[in-house]
Amino acid sequence: MAVRHQLIHCPPRRVWAVLADPNLYGEWVVGPSDSTPLDDSWPRTGARLRYTLRLGPWSAEGTTTVRHQEVGKELELEASFKSLGTARIFLQLRPWGEETLVVCDEHPLRGLGGTLHNPVSEAALQLRHRGMLARLAKIAERHPDEVHRA
Sequence-distant (≥ 6) Cβ neighbours of residue 11 within 8 angstroms? 95, 98, 99, 100
Q: 33-46 as b/e, with b when 16 or more CB fall inside 10 Å?
A: eebebeeeebbeee
Cα(132)–Cα(4) distance, rounded to whole angstroms?
Answer: 10
| Domains of the chain by start residue, with CATH | 2-144 (3.30.530.20)
What pTM was estimated for this model as a whole?
0.85
Tens digit of pLDDT for each residue in 98-126?
A: 999 999 998 888 876 666 666 776 777 77
Tens digit of pLDDT for each residue in 25-82?
A: 888 887 777 788 998 999 999 999 998 877 778 878 889 999 999 999 999 999 998 7
Identify the pLDDT of residue 36: 87
Whether 147 shows a pLDDT value over 60: the answer reads no
